[in-house]
Amino acid sequence: MRSGGYTLKLEKRLRISGWEAALIPILAILFALALFSSVFILAGINPLMAYQQIFAYAFANPNGLPLTIYRFIFLLLCTCAFIIPFRAGLWNIGMTGQLYAGALGAFAIPLAFGAKESSVSHLAPEILIPLMLIAAAVGGGAMGAIAGFLKGKLDVNEIVVTMMLNSIGFWLVSFMIKEGGPLMSPGGEGQGFKLPPSLYAPQIVNVPFTILFALGIAALLYWMFAKSSIGYQIRAHGSSPAAARYAGISTVKIPLLVFIMGGAVAGLAGYHYFATVPGLYRISSDYGYFGDLAFYGIICGLISLGDALAAIPVALLFGGLSVGGRYIQGKLHMGFGVDYALLGVLMITLVAFQFFYRYKIVWVKTEEEKFDVRVHRQVP
Amino acid sequence: MQEGLLEGIKRGDTVLEARGITKRFPGVVANDHINFEIKAGEIHALLGENGAGKTTLMSILFGLWQPDEGEIYIGGKRVKFRSPEDAIELGIGMVHQNRKLVSAHTVIENIILGHPKAGKILNLKRAEDEVKELAERYGFAVDLRAKVWQLAEGEKQAAEILKTLYRGAKVLILDEPTSALTPSETDRLLASVKAMANDELAVVPFITHKLPVVLAISDRVTVLRRGQVVASLETKLATEKSLAREMVGRDVLFNIERTKVEKGKPILQVENLSAASDKGFLALSGASFSVCEGEIFGIAGISGNGQRELAEVLAGLRKAEGGRVMIEGKDITHASTLERWQMGVGYIPSDRVEVGSIGDFSLVENIMMNLYYDASFSRQGILDDAKIRKHTAEIIAEYDVATPSLDTTAKSLSGGNLQRLILARVLSRKPRLLIAHLPTQGLDVGATEFVQNKLMEAKKDKAAVLLISEDLDEVLSLSDWVAPIYEGKLMGILSGEAAKRENVGAMMAGLSLEGQEL
């Protein structure tokens, strides 16, 4: 691009300062919102008003804010589940299947203790809730371990395996909660049984206690990758498997380990959504919707470049926009899918803006160009 | 057509001239006002240590990078390259050290791949005739119908040179052309290079440390040091010693004194060891030898005769198909890599970039490759950052790794510096057995001397050293024992005194000690 003696050129960045690294995603978000304005304008809606409503509902409305927080916790756990294998150079596309397995594990505990038969609660929550959490982590971890084992031992592509396990997980849940399934609600209706009230998750000022797990895991991962020997081994495997092997790091154990860890965290996301969100407390019939939402963990993980702390604001933003987007879709009578369209535009823009971590745009004087070979070509 | 610029060029005319080329990278001036001139019919060697700026200069002349300052003239006209395509079109060709051929295709298919006429007015038969004529003219013996994967290294190089010539190159830049070649392949290449120069092509081989090659073929030599031209003279006025001094900036010893160390107990014992290659065939068979403390045991041979497999089996990175490996009397044939490191095995792999280091990691994190498992550098799995940094700073200073900071990434280091880093990491562990595979490959004079001295020091420190090298002079000057390897078999074990260029060279080529072909 030329203008007034200057040419726009891309230049490779050799280093990036902290404030530039922070500015890039903010610019990307603003750019995405500006881009998505066209959708509102086409629908005859003032985009500023629309965004004001989205953000107000998601972050300042007594009905919207809790929904945002539930989703934020869910997304942050899914993001961490993606990040752990990602730092080892492996792709976990299977948070969906892992969270299903986690949910099944969690609900198997009250089932085993007879919660389904007796609505009168004789169950001690201080024992059963920790057991449910452990079972969720074990369920998700076991699902993850399949992919990790196949990758480490037999070098089977982990993307394919985790994707296929998502399908298996989906139908497994269906088998368990629908007609005749062991976790079926007594009334049928294609959904799981409801937890007895004694097992409703404790809330901290109306926020499920799982938020502590989500934030704690994010902080723990950040610390693990920065300071611990195992975090170092995972990162070495991610940067160069051949060099990691040379350094004595097992290329069998690391894939298995990261997928067990990632799966366990995704399992907790399953527990979180189905067992702590007020009004739900069961594996609902629309569980597939939350399975799909788990894919945003991949996006949040990529945008935060595998940094678990950076994933916190990203997950909050995506959680809020998915809630706010859904809200104005109804409020302003817009077409179906505005929320996902908004997330999609945001996602593509954020990923595209990562280009600027590596390159910058500079203006250079065009004067030099007169020595271009192409100019010579016209000289006989 | 651009050839206009170089039409009617006669022997001795300036083909390409670079004036005041300057290129800066953060913290370093890679090229500092370099003037460089290439004449038709001239072989102009560019000499310099790693990091002296040779690659930067050639990348600029080939259009891969833009200079910050300076001008390039071709046939007297100023040009500016925006990409290698511009340079190719103006008759500049470059043959890289890393081969850029499609191995499943034939030589001729590779040669016409990307040729502007391919698929339009160029047909394979005609191209083949034309290339064959080029090959005959310059004495390149390569079967144009052979698939690239079937070729020897020298033939692949010939294919690349032919490809470049066929694109119409008048200036041929050869990046370290002899580094992967056997002695006889080198001779053949040099003859071809001479034939090309006689045909008024300008050839620029840039060679780091093979001074004898520079002296044998070049007409003119330009020496770079730290980004500046320190000498440019006719080769006949230069000697090996004078060039080395210009390159390194001080006098260089060419032969390291082999110090005698009192022979100790055996550290490594290998019995009847066999290993398979990546493709599954037996690449190493029936190797038996032992290395004692205070000894350097040299394995001499052209790469691809089972050396990589031997090194990897000893390091635990490849499983043995048969035989036994013992360290200080303990059988480690089935031990993991980590267990071997903990038992005092140290390994310098031939692939410094992909295996020996992690490019995206900082120097500290690279040093951690041999520390993360050491209890004295961590507490319950939590790394002791301060201690690791201190240790890194110490050994980096001791091994003279030139770097702006400890947080620089390994990929920004030059080859010689990277090897110093790897040596620092491995040798600071005080290994009982040191396996060094091609430890000086591609290094310049200064770095080579440094590495060889360090191997000698390890020997004096009572380590057993297994040196696997293609450089016959290196093996002969350092080793107490020399075992030539050919097609996966050790051809015999000679004492350092008995091993001579002639007998070891013959055994490397598959002849037994008595001179009979096996």
B428 pLDDT more than 50: yes
Q: Which of A228, A246, A373 sits opposite B356 (nearest CB)?
A: A246
**Cα B363 vs. chain centroid, distance in angstroms?**
22
Q: Using CA atoms, how far apart are residues A262 and B305, in angstroms rounded to an integer?
A: 43
Q: Does A11 touch chain B (CB under 8 A)?
A: no
For residue B338, pLDDT over 50 is answered with: yes
pLDDT at residue A369 above 50? no
DSSP state of B409: B
In a domain, B503, yes or no: yes
Name the packing angle between helices A125-154 and A158-177 (round to 10°). Answer: 140
A230 shares contact with chain B (CB less than 8 Å): yes
Q: What is the pLDDT of residue A379?
A: 35
pTM beyond cutoff 0.90: no
- Closest approach of chain A CAs to the CA of B339, in angstroms? 8
B-chain residues near A15 (CB < 8 A): 26
Closest residue in A to B87 (Cα–Cα)? A373
CB proximity under 8 Å: A 140-199 to B: none
pLDDT greater than 70 at residue A221: yes
Cβ neighbours of A249 in B, within 8 Å: 338
Residue B154 lies in a domain: no
CB contact under 8 A, A248 and B338: yes
Asked whether residue A217 is domain-assigned, the answer is yes
pLDDT confidence tier of residue B209, bands split at 50, 70 and 90: low
Q: Which tokens in the block code for residue B425?
A: 């990491």
Chain-chain contact of B358 with A239 (C-beta, under 8 angstroms): yes
Q: C-alpha distances in angstroms, A375 versus A130, B61, B81, B86, B513? A: 74, 18, 11, 12, 65
Q: What token pair was written down for A334?
A: 């817009």
What CATH number is associated with residue B10?
3.40.50.300
Q: Is residue A44 part of a domain?
A: no
Mean pLDDT across chain A: 89
Distance CA A357, CA A371 (A): 31
Question: What percent of chain A has pLDDT above 70?
Answer: 92
- Write out the two tokens for B45: 């060697």
Is B421 within a domain? no
Collect all residues with Cβ–Cβ distance below 8 Å to A212 and sequence separation of at least 6: A204
Q: Please judge whether A246 and B337 are an interchain contact, meaning their C-beta atoms are less than 8 angstroms apart.
A: yes
* pLDDT tens by residue, A55-113: 999 999 999 999 999 999 999 999 999 999 999 999 999 999 999 999 999 999 998 88
B183 backbone dihedrals φ, ψ, rounded to 5°: -55, -40
Q: What is the pLDDT of residue A215?
A: 98
**pLDDT over 70 at A173, yes or no:** yes
Which pLDDT does position A151 carry in this prediction?
A: 96
Per the model's pLDDT, the better-predicted residue between A366 and A233 turns out to be A233
Which residues 13-32 of chain A have a CB within 8 Å of chain B? 14-15
Q: For residue A105, how far is the Cα from the chain centroid?
A: 21
Residue A356 lies in a domain: no
CB neighbours (10 Å) of residue B116?
A: 13
Residues B83 and B201 in one domain: yes
DSSP calls for B306-350: SHHHHHHHHHTSS-EEEEEEEETTEE-TT--HHHHHHTTEEEE-S
- The predicted-structure confidence for B46-103, as pLDDT tens digits, reads as follows 888 777 888 889 889 888 888 999 999 988 888 888 888 888 888 888 888 777 888 8
Instruction: Evaluate whether A285 touches A188 at the Cβ level (below 8 Å).
Output: no
The mean-pLDDT minimum among A80-89, A195-204, A313-322 falls in: A195-204
Q: Which tokens sit at A140?
A: 């998700």
pLDDT at residue B257 tops 80: no
Best of A373, A376, A377, A378 to disrupt the B interface (most B CBs within 10 Å) is A373
pLDDT at A163 over 80: yes
Q: Is the Cβ pair A369, B80 closer than 8 Å?
A: yes
Residue A183, helix vs strand vs coil: coil
Chain A residues close to B345, C-beta within 8 Å: none
Burial class (CB in 10 A: 0-12, 13-18, 19+), A1: exposed
Give the minimum alpha-carbon distance from A108 to chain B in angstroms, rounded to a whole number.
Answer: 34
Residue of chain A whose Cα is closest to the Cα of B340: A248
| Domain limit, last residue, from B248, B276, B304 | B248
Quick check: B210 pLDDT over 80?
no
Please tell me the distance from the alpha carbon of residue B403 to that of residue B409, in angstroms, as a whole number. Answer: 10
Domain that holds residue B49: 2-94+166-248
CB contact under 8 A, A247 and B370: yes
- Boundary of a domain, candidates B185, B216, B248: B248
Helix (H) or strand (E) holding B105: none
Q: Which residue has the tokens 């083909």?
A: B15
Structure tokens at A57: 């509902």
If one compares B156 and A1, the residue with the highest pLDDT of the two is B156
Tell me which residue of A144, A148, A380 sits closest to A250, measured CA to CA.
A148
- CB of A373 within 8 Å of a chain B CB? The answer is yes
Find the domain containing A316 and state its range: 61-321
For residues A306 and B255, give the distance between their C-alpha atoms in angstroms, rounded to a whole number: 51
In a domain, B419, yes or no: no
The neighbouring-strand residues paired with B327 are B268, B330
Inter-chain residue contact B359 with A240, CB threshold 8 Å: yes
**B462-494: b or e for each residue (b if 16 or more CB lie within 10 Å)?**
bbbbbbbbbbbebbbbbbbbbbbbbebbbbbbb
Which residues in chain A are closer than 8 Å to B340, comparing Cβ atoms? 248
- How high does pLDDT run on average in chain B? 87
Report the amino acid identity of residue B9.
Answer: I
The stretch B458-464 carries a mean pLDDT of: 93
Cross-chain Cβ contact B381/A230 below 8 Å: yes
Distance separating alpha carbons of residues B188 and B342, to the nearest angstrom: 46
Evaluated on CA atoms B361, B366, B370, B375, the torsion sign reads negative
Distance separating alpha carbons of residues B4 and A80, to the nearest angstrom: 61
Mean pLDDT of A346-353: 88
Q: Which positions ≥6 away from A201 have C-beta within 8 Å?
A: A129, A208, A209, A210, A275, A276
Q: How many domains does chain B have?
A: 2
pLDDT at B514: 57
Inter-residue contact B429 to B346 (CB < 8 Å):
yes
pLDDT at A361: 81
Adjacent-strand bridge partners of B194 = none
Output DSSP code: residue A195: P
Query: Where among B248, B280, B299 does a domain terminate?
Result: B248
Query: Residue length, chain B?
Result: 518
Say if the Cβ atoms of B383 and A229 lie within 8 Å.
yes
Residue A247, chain B, CB below 8 Å: the answer is: yes
Same-domain check for residues B336 and B437: yes
Element (H, E) at A312: helix A311-331
**Over the stretch B166-205, which tens digit does the pLDDT of each residue have?**
988 888 888 888 777 776 778 888 888 888 888 877 777 7
Contact B383 A232 (CB under 8 A): yes
State residue A348 phi and psi, 5-degree precision: -65, -40
Q: Taking CB atoms and an 8 Å cutoff, what residues of chain A touch B90?
A: 373
How many separate domains does chain A show? 1
Task: Identify whether the C-beta of residue A124 lies closer than 8 Å to the C-beta of residue A247.
Answer: no
Question: Residue A293 is part of a domain; what is its CATH number?
Answer: 1.10.3470
Interface of B with A (CB under 8 A): 2, 4-5, 25-26, 71, 77-82, 86, 89-90, 315, 317, 336-338, 340-341, 347, 349, 351, 354-361, 365, 368-370, 372-373, 378, 381-383, 385
User: Are B89 and B2 spatial neighbours (Cβ–Cβ below 8 Å)?
Assistant: yes
* Three-class SS state of B358: coil
| C-beta atoms of A373 and B90 within 8 A | yes
Are B8 and B81 found together in one domain?
Answer: yes
* CB B164, CB B136: distance < 8 Å: no
Read off the tokens for B444. 């310049």
Do the beta carbons of residue A366 and residue A5 sit within 8 Å? yes
| A371 pLDDT higher than 70 | no
Same structural domain for residues B281 and B177?
no
The backbone torsions φ and ψ at residue A237, rounded to the nearest 5 degrees and listed phi first, read -60, -40
Rounded distance, CA B120 to CA B295, Å? 63
- The stretches of B199-329 forming alpha helices (DSSP H) are 211-217, 240-248, 307-315
Q: What mean pLDDT comes out for the span B24-30?
A: 80
Judge whether B437 lies within some domain: yes
Q: How far does Cα A189 stand from its chain's mean position? A: 29
Report the pLDDT value the prediction gives residue B6, as an integer from 0 to 100: 67
Parallel, antiparallel, or unpaired for β B44-48 and B202-207? Answer: parallel
pLDDT of residue A46: 93
Q: Report pLDDT for B296.
A: 95
Contacts of B261 (CB under 8 A, 6+ apart): B294, B295, B459, B460, B462
In a domain, A12, yes or no: no
Closest-approach residue (CA) in chain A for B356: A243
Count Cβ atoms within 10 A of the Cβ of residue B142 and give its class: 0-12 exposed, 13-18 middle, 19 or more buried: buried
> Are B427 and B461 within 8 A, CB to CB?
no
Structure token digits, residue B512: 């037994």
Question: How far apart, in Å, are the Cα atoms of B481 and each of A376, B123, B274, B287, B440?
Answer: 62, 55, 21, 15, 19
Cβ–Cβ under 8 Å, residues A271 and A106: yes
Contact between chains at A247 and B4 (C-beta distance less than 8 A):
no
B454 belongs to a structural domain: yes
Contact by Cβ (8 Å): A334, A349: no
ipTM, interface predicted TM-score of the complex: 0.84
Instruction: Kindly report the backbone phi and psi dihedral angles of residue B79, in degrees, each rounded to the nearest multiple of 5, phi listed first.
Output: -130, 160
Q: Comparing C-alpha atoms, which of A63, A57, A95, A91 is closest to residue A76?
A: A95
Q: Which of A357-371, B46-60, B352-366, B420-434 has the lowest average pLDDT?
A: A357-371
**pLDDT of res. B187:** 83
- CB-CB neighbors (< 8 A) of A358 in chain B: none
Give the range among A4-13, A313-322, B403-412 with minimum mean pLDDT. A4-13
Return the closest-CA partner of residue A52 out of A335, A250, A328: A328
Report which of A184, A176, A206, A177 is spatially closest to residue A117, judged by C-alpha positions.
Answer: A184
- Chain A residues lying within 8 Å of B381, measured CB to CB: 228-230
Give me the residue from B77, B347, B355 closest to A243, CB to CB: B355
> In B, which residues are within 8 Å of A11 by CB distance?
none
pLDDT of residue A121: 57
The average pLDDT across B335-359 equals 95
- For the sheet with B282-292, list strands across it: B282-292, B266-276, B320-327, B330-331
Does the pLDDT value for residue A119 go beyond 60?
no
Nearest to B81 among A227, A248, A373 (CB): A373
R_g over Cα of chain A:
24
